[in-house]
Amino acid sequence: MTKTYHGSCHCGAVRFEADVDLAAGTIKCNCTFCTKVRMWEVHLKPEAFRLVAGADALATYRFGERFEHPFCRHCGVRGFGFGYVEELGGDVVYLHLATLDDLPPAALAEAPIHYANGRENLWWEPAPEFRHL
């Protein structure tokens, strides 16, 4: 079931909301970027994401040609990212679940997780080892 959640960076300068269906699944990836930042995310269509405040507080790190990772220039927290993935229907928003302020821990604990093998560019296949993710 889709629910609207509200999120923010650590200092509160960047705020956003998103329509998320946790039952549709979450993702942890073993690629070098996701592993280093301990990313746990959901993928959303752009229309399901709304930046409420803080566009002027964002800086951006680009990873490859397909991924853009905005972060708060004050506290460094990344709440979301943007990319283009043909297999997901084109434009996509990557929402970092840890930045959702009103997501109950129990709901997160119940959400299904796909462990993606991004390290070998086999995103749709399970990672061979994922206990560390």
Amino acid at 99: T
* 42 within 8 A of 95, measured Cβ to Cβ: yes
Determine contact, residues 60/72, Cβ cutoff 8 Å. no
Q: 62 is in which domain, residue-wise?
A: 3-120
Let me know if residue 94 belongs to a domain.
yes
CA distance 7 to 102: 7
**Whether this model's pTM surpasses 0.85:** yes
DSSP 79: -
- In a domain, residue 132? The reply is no
Query: How many domains are contained in the chain?
Result: 1
Question: What are the pLDDT digits (tens) for 4-36?
Answer: 999 999 999 999 999 999 999 999 999 888 899
